[in-house]
Amino acid sequence: HPPQAPRISVVGTGYLGATHAAAMAEMGFEVIGVDNDPAKAQALSEGRVPFFEPGLPELIRKHVKSGRLRFTTDIAEATAFSDVHFICVGTPQQRGSNAANLSYVEEATMQVVRNLTHDGLIVGKSTVPVGTGMRLRSIVAENVPAGIDAELIWNPEFLREGKAVDDTLTPDRIVVGGTSARSEALMREVYAKPIATGTPVIVCDLPTAELVKVSANAFLATKISFINAIAEVCEAAGADVTVLADALGHDVRIGRQFLNAGLGFGGGCLPKDIRALIYRSSELGATKAASLLQQVDEINMSQRQRVIDMAIEACGGSVLNRRIGVLGAAFKPLTDDVRDSPALNVAAALHLRGAQVVIYDPEANETAQRMFPTLTYAESVEEAATGADALLVLTEWKEFSAAKPEEIRSLVARPVVIDARNCLDAAAWRAAGWWFTGLGASPAP
């Protein structure tokens, strides 16, 4: 008889966990997702995903129906059922500090270990500061029931929101850290499908696996702040950062991706991950990494201030009682996520300065409204633009670049547009009579 396929539990069903659970089911395994929020577990059980992620609801419904995927709030049910336990809970930034809050990861690990009824492999997937896995291993050792064998390894996840399903089914690489021969074999079995199609596997020690993940995000963040720093030079020198990025991108050592200058990075990962790395590097005495990434964070945050200042200037020195149409609330397109969203940050700051801000986002109006209920939300580009003294494009949704500058012009009070994502066709907007400014190019002729 062939040995039975490992059964899988996924603890935490946010972006990461829900996607990972569905992907594991798609790869042929029986999967149980665990969340301590009953509403979330219930919604997922009914095939409803409580956030916008293209393709995910379909995949979850497919496997809830196939019987390979179910969700529960009962950790004991999950541990009794499965052999491999993925930890996918959040590691948010701590209040008033750069450090990551590890209480959810510690609690989830503890819960899994205490409830083990047979030998199990605990696989950390959450993004954690280097050194966390080692600490969790002592939690495992102290809490594992007598006679049961529990191992803890790290297998970071690199999925992007908006592309989470594809990224999980066909990852660029699989990193597993701290494995024994047995757990490595088990991981190769779990990821047999992507491995069969050529996905490289990097087997390393625990700290390296943890650090690969945070360095990947730190590098992406650095790329963005680099191009934003060069954008400043472009503006001062009369050069065009978009053309420059295209030219740089042809060098395969550099690459064109993540060289879009603009409002900078936000979301639930990049900002908090570089801050956690700044904090952890300082703790470890690695001062060069800390000071480099400090600059990356500062440059990034200054982009938001820059756009706020540009809006104020465009309104003649004050936005008080000015109507400002804001296109975009999500931290990037193809998501309804507004965590640390540069767009919402700018909108809220202008509102605080007395502007009448009207926001439209194709997917994130609702999540934005929950965070900033006092702002005004519109149902379309046209509604946000109507009567505006200035129009700000803060997230580069396709719907915004497809908007017709002539038509929008007839709706606004003043044809002033700030393209903070360099996503509009500047020449077309200028030709339609707009006073147009982007970031990182010489001002309107």
Q: Which residues are catalytic?
A: 269
* Run of H or E residues at 11: strand 8-11
Contact region for ligand UGA (CB under 6 A) — 38-46, 68-76, 257-265, 363-371? 257-265
Does 266 count as an annotated binding residue? yes
Please say which residue, 144 or 234, places its beta carbon nearer to ligand UGA.
234
Q: Which of residues 167-226 bind ligand UGA (CB under 6 A)?
A: 217, 220, 224
According to DSSP, residue 380 is labeled S
Report the nearest approach of ligand UGA to the CB of residue 395 (Å). 7
Which of 259, 307 has the CB closer to ligand UGA? 259
Binding residues for ligand UGA, how many (CB under 6 A)? 21
Stretch that binds ligand UGA, among 185-193, 204-212, 260-268, 382-390 (CB under 6 A): 260-268
The reply, when asked if residue 261 is annotated as ligand binding, is yes
Q: What are phi and psi of 194, to 5 degrees?
A: -60, -35
Rounded least distance, CB 54 to ligand UGA, Å: 12
SS (H, E, C) the chain: CCCCCCCEEEECCCHHHHHHHHHHHHCCCCEEEECCCHHHHHHHHCCCCCCCCCCHHHHHHHHHHHCCEEEECCHHHHHHHCCEEEECCCCCECCCCCCECCHHHHHHHHHHHHCCCCCEEEEECCCCCCCHHHHHHHHHHHHCCCCCCEEEEECCCCCCCCCHHHHHHCCCCEEEECCCHHHHHHHHHHCHHHHHCCCCEEEECHHHHHHHHHHHHHHHHHHHHHHHHHHHHHHHHCCCHHHHHHHHHCCCCCCCCCCCCCCCCCCCCHHHHHHHHHHHHHHHCCHHHHHHHHHHHHHHHHHHHHHHHHHHHHCCCCCCCCEEEEECCCCCCCCCCCCCCHHHHHHHHHHHCCCEEEEECCCCHHHHHHHCCCCEECCCHHHHHCCCCEEEECCCCHHHHCCCHHHHHCCCCCCEEEECCCCCCHHHHHHCCCEEECCCCCCCC
Q: Is 334 a residue that touches ligand UGA (CB under 6 A)?
A: no
Answer yes or no: is 223 a known binding residue. Answer: no
Nearest distance, CB of residue 342 and ligand UGA, angstroms: 6
| 260 in contact with ligand UGA (CB under 6 A) | yes
> Of 130, 270, 296, 327, which lies in the binding site for ligand UGA, with binding defined by CB under 6 A?
270
Q: Which of 29, 86, 191, 265 binds ligand UGA (CB under 6 A)?
A: 265
Residue 262 marked in a binding site: yes
Residue 158 interacts with ligand UGA (CB under 6 A): yes or no: yes
Residue 259 near ligand UGA by CB under 6 A: yes
Within 13 Å of residue 300, how many CA atoms lie on the same side as its CB? 28
- Say whether residue 332 binds ligand UGA (CB under 6 A): yes
Q: Does 331 bind ligand UGA (CB under 6 A)?
A: yes
339 is annotated as contributing to ligand binding: yes
| Contact range with ligand UGA by CB under 6 A, out of 83-91, 159-167, 180-188, 424-432 | 159-167
91 labeled binding residue: yes
* Binding to ligand UGA, residues 100-139 (CB under 6 A): 127
* Among the listed residues 159, 326, 375, 392, the single contact to ligand UGA using CB under 6 A: 159
40 is an annotated ligand-binding site residue: yes
Q: Are 178 and 153 in contact (CB under 8 A)?
A: yes
Residue closer to ligand UGA, measured from CB, 412 or 426: 426
Q: Does 275 bind ligand UGA (CB under 6 A)?
A: no
Closest to ligand UGA by CB, 186 vs 269, is 269
Binding residues: 35, 40, 91, 127, 158-161, 213, 258-262, 266, 272, 332, 339
Which residues contact ligand UGA (rule: CB under 6 A)?
127, 158-161, 217, 220, 224, 258-260, 262, 264-267, 269-270, 273, 331-332
Binding residues for NAD(+): 35, 40, 91, 127, 161, 272, 339
